[in-house]
Amino acid sequence: MTSNESQIVLFSLDGVLYGTDVHQVREVREVQDITPVPYAPFYVEGVTNLRGEVIPVIDLRKRFGIREKDKDERSKIMIVVQDEDKKVVGIIVDSVMEVMSISQNDTERTPDILTTADSDCVLGVAKRGEDLIILLDLQKVVSKKDVEATRTIEELAASSVESPMPETSSPEILG
């Protein structure tokens, strides 16, 4: 592996190929055992238990404002690492294909005209034969604010694990 090559995890969402640096992804999991959480942001699917660690799961379709689609056996959760405190967030995508190398020569930065305040998570576009791969910074996609929001949920979920009937939640909603 030379310095002008980087490894990305290739995944798809609504027929579009995306790539994210392999260092941002800790692992890939099946979409299962997600517990919905009340009052969470609309794009938060719920929480799941990752080997004893309760992590929030968000739906990238909802986060990107793409129309919803039923999950199938190809749908996967990518476990994305938050740099600062090693906290992780699950991100649901349509499918995860492979780990691949891309060359800097095949990568172009996002044209400035496409850049907005919210689009700084798009790093550029890589070519792979005829296909284009949109390179994402998933850590930016899962913003600090979102993480804080989900952390609150985490704490809520964690406390609910210890005491199933927290005073702040009604039993009906948690049901």
The residues that touch other proteins, with contacts defined as CB under 8 A, are 1, 7, 9, 22-23, 25-30, 73, 76, 96, 98-99
Nearest approach in angstroms of CB 78 to other proteins is 9
Q: Which is nearer to other proteins, 63 or 76 (CB)?
A: 76
Q: Which is nearer to other proteins, 72 or 112 (CB)?
A: 72
Nearest approach in angstroms of CB 146 to other proteins is 23
Nearest approach in angstroms of CB 160 to other proteins is 29
d(CA 48, CA 71): 16
Q: Which is nearer to other proteins, 75 or 160 (CB)?
A: 75
